[in-house]
């Protein structure tokens, strides 16, 4: 999946349609709309899913009005950052469920009043930027791929929003204006003037400019044609999100006249004008987006062309798999005896479609990663089964996997059955984990099983390797599992963690994989407490940080992760957090290289691309 800024410069992409219109069609009252990510998250996910299923390759968060200026008018005084974070998370969750690659844009709409300017008095510019920064911070924490500053009428508001984004992030920005049938915005800006204005925005021009909302497809097309002619001189991509016509009240409901078929006939003209993205605004629905996709299928960028559905299909699981898929994968403990091992974790999607995940696995294969860790519903959130995911990754790539296997969800009988099934499917590398309690995740009232803990699971696997089940009864033939266990070098109390680590080794563990650490001192403290050399090979966990807020979140809210103050301070006033995170990871690897046997990378938000420079540098250092 290309970075968003690069994607906008190559090919035609299909965006989603109106979010508010969809919610109103589901019986939501207008005053309820801004707070839906907190009050009705399932409904938000359904909305995003319907647009993805219709063919949208770019979706925007439900955060258009999620700024303190507008929310204060409703009398709401909750956390704007949390509201925006949840909106971004829900969009990403919908994408995970759908399983196809798609971009998530954080939506920033106008404030309740315009920003003060020589023409229009209003909100103080510095205050406006502060209001936007609060929303931007939440969207970043939720993991957006870029920002859509939309439905803009005045340049001062655009400047405040863009400044707020660039103070927090270097992600791509799309700026979209709303034009009337007269060919100007509410405050008299023409399409040509809008292009000229964004070229001088703080920090430089945006990744794209465009038009949305307005009075319908035809007036918007006129504005886009004028805008595109000027934008071509600057090689600036153009986006278009037309309304479904002028709204009218019919039987007490707002009705938009432009049908899906009519909207589809406008799409080729938008493409001919030079649009890089076509979506829909007020009044458009998944049916409109589906009609555009069907009419423009041959023109859309093929990388993200959506399938009609999102369940596993024949083109996800091939009829004739690679004949080498069933070859015995390299056992991790044997690999550790021969070389420095590099592993990367991938979380299964929230739905049954594995396309995006397999694409990421193939990219890791190209970067010569040795093995992929497949997490088992981490943080107790429901995802596609790790066993099925690992099997399909091994089928679609030449990489071995390490299957995370928790005792949280299976009783002793089901646990052994699944392990035997894993072995029959060629999944011979198992990481034994107790698993996060359900209270951390989506189903807080779900019942955990925990017939065994990770030590007991290690004993079961060791018994399987001797041809015996948990009761000591023969299996008929022994298995050949490579048994991994987890260890947390930053645990408190550390003495208890070390005692459990020794028990895991005694139970038959072949190697250990650590929770992410962020400073050499954390590892040295663990070794000192251990009081001797590592009894089994250790693969060190590293989760490169991407921002100060992410670091604070991990430190304060994710069990097992401790980030030292000196590391947090490296991020406090830094915009390019990704670069700093990679620097810190490399420093850590260079300091500890002699005492470890491999690296276990955990990508933020399941994004592989930012890890590529780090993977290449690790390969250079460890060859």
Q: Is the peptide bond before 493 cis (omega within 30 degrees of 0)?
A: yes
With a cut of 80, say whether residue 380 has pLDDT above it: no
DSSP three-state, residue 482: strand
pLDDT confidence of residue 118: 66
pLDDT confidence of residue 306: 39
Dist CA 431 CA 512 (whole Å): 8
Q: Over the stretch 455-513, which tens digit does the pLDDT of each residue have?
A: 999 999 999 999 999 999 888 789 999 999 999 999 989 999 999 999 999 999 999 99
Fold agreement (172-295, 332-545+588-622): yes
Judge whether 432 is annotated as a binding position.
no
Dist CA 591 CA 542 (whole Å): 13
- For the chain, the domains span 172-295, 332-545+588-622
Dist CA 436 CA 348 (whole Å): 16
Mean residue pLDDT of the chain comes to: 90
The strand pairing partners of 482, in sequence order, are 429
Counts of helices then strands in the chain (DSSP H, E): 23, 18
Dist CA 257 CA 263 (whole Å): 10
pLDDT band at 577 (very low <50, low <70, confident <90, very high): confident
Strand order in the sheet with 173-177: 13-14, 275-278, 238-242, 208-213, 173-177, 146-152, 103-108, 58-60
- Which of 487, 345, 473 is CA-nearest to residue 420? 473
With a cut of 70, say whether residue 304 has pLDDT above it: no
Dist CA 609 CA 246 (whole Å): 42
pLDDT band at 436 (very low <50, low <70, confident <90, very high): confident
pLDDT confidence of residue 303: 52
* Greater model confidence, 180 or 446: 180
For the four alpha carbons of 556, 557, 560 and 563, in that order, the dihedral sign comes to negative
pLDDT confidence of residue 122: 78
Dist CA 608 CA 343 (whole Å): 12
Chain centroid to CA 130: 26
DSSP three-state, residue 261: helix
pLDDT confidence of residue 120: 64
Judge whether 47 is annotated as a binding position.
no
Most confident of 161-175, 570-584, 603-617: 161-175
Write the DSSP assignment of 324-381 as a string of letters. TTTSPPPPHHHHHTTS-EEEEEEPPPSSS--HHHHHHHHHHHHTT--EEEE-SSGGG-
Dist CA 398 CA 19 (whole Å): 41
Q: Which of 137-151, 332-346, 607-621 is predicted with the least confidence, judged by mean pLDDT?
A: 607-621
pLDDT band at 229 (very low <50, low <70, confident <90, very high): very high
CATH 3.20.20.220 fits 332-545+588-622, yes or no: yes
Dist CA 584 CA 564 (whole Å): 12
Dist CA 446 CA 444 (whole Å): 6
Percentage of residues of the chain with pLDDT beyond 90: 72
- Give CATH for domain 172-295: 3.20.20.330
Distances (CA, A) of 63 to 71, 406, 429: 11, 36, 42
Specify the DSSP class assigned to residue 440: G
Can you tell me which residue has the tokens 């509410």? Answer: 186
Dist CA 577 CA 248 (whole Å): 48
């Amino acid at each position: 999946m290309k970075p968003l800024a690069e994607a906008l410069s190559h090919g035609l992409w299909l965006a989603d349609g109106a979010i508010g219109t969809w919610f109103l069609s589901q019986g939501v009252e207008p005053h309820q709309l801004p707070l839906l990510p907190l009050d009705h998250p399932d409904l938000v996910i359904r909305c995003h899913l319907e647009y993805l299923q219709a063919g949208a390759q770019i979706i925007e968060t439900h955060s258009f009005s999620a700024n303190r200026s507008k929310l204060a008018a409703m009398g709401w005084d909750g956390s704007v950052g949390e509201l925006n974070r949840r909106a971004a998370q829900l969009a990403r969750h919908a994408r995970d469920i759908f399983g196809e690659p798609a971009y998530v844009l954080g939506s920033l709409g106008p404030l309740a009043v315009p920003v003060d300017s020589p023409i229009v008095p209003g909100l103080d510019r510095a205050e406006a930027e502060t209001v936007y920064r609060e929303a931007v911070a939440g969207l970043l924490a939720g993991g957006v791929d870029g920002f859509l500053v939309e439905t803009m009428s005045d340049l001062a508001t655009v400047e405040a929003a863009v400044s707020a984004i660039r103070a927090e992030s270097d992600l791509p920005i799309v700026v979209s204006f709303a034009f009337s049938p007269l060919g100007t915005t509410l405050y008299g800006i023409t399409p040509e003037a809008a292009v000229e204005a964004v070229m001088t925005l703080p920090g430089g021009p945006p990744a794209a400019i465009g038009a949305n909302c307005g009075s319908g497809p035809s007036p918007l097309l006129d504005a886009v044609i004028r805008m595109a002619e000027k934008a071509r001189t600057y090689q600036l991509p153009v986006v278009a999100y037309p309304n479904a016509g002028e709204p009218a009240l019919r039987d007490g409901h707002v009705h938009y006249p432009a049908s899906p078929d009519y909207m589809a006939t406008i799409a080729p003209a938008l493409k001919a004008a030079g649009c890089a993205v076509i979506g829909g605004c007020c009044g458009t629905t998944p049916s409109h987006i589906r009609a555009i996709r069907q009419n423009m299928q041959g023109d859309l960028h093929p990388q993200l062309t959506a399938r009609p559905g999102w369940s596993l299909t024949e083109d996800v699981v091939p009829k004739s798999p690679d004949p080498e898929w069933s070859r015995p994968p390299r056992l991790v403990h044997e690999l550790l005896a021969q070389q420095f091992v590099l592993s990367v974790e991938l979380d299964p999607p929230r739905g049954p479609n594995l396309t995006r995940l397999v694409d990421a696995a193939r990219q890791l294969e190209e970067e010569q990663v040795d093995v992929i860790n497949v997490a088992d519903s981490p943080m107790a959130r429901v995802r596609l089964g790790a066993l099925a995911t690992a099997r399909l990754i091994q089928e679609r790539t030449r990489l071995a996997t390490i299957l995370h296997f928790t005792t949280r969800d299976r009783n002793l009988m089901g646990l052994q059955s699944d392990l035997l099934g894993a072995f029959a499917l060629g999944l011979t590398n198992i990481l034994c984990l107790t698993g996060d309690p359900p209270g951390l995740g989506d189903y807080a009232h779900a019942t955990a099983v925990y017939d065994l803990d990770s030590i007991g699971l290690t004993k079961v696997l060791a018994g399987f390797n001797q041809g015996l089940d948990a009761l000591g009864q023969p299996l008929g033939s022994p298995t050949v599992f490579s048994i991994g266990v987890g260890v947390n070098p930053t645990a408190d109390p550390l003495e208890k963690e070390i005692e459990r680590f020794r028990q895991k080794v005694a139970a038959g563990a072949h190697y250990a994989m650590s929770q992410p650490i962020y400073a050499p001192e954390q590892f040295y403290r663990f070794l000192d407490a251990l009081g001797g050399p590592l009894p089994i090979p250790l693969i060190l966990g590293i989760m490169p940080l991407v921002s100060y807020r992410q670091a604070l979140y991990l430190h304060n809210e994710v069990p097992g992760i401790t980030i030292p103050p000196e590391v947090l301070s490296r991020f406090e006033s830094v915009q390019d957090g990704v670069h700093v995170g990679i620097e810190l990871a490399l420093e850590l690897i260079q300091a500890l290289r002699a005492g470890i046997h491999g690296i276990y990378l955990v990508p933020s938000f399941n994004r592989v691309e930012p890890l590529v420079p780090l993977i290449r540098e690790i390969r250079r250092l460890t060859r």
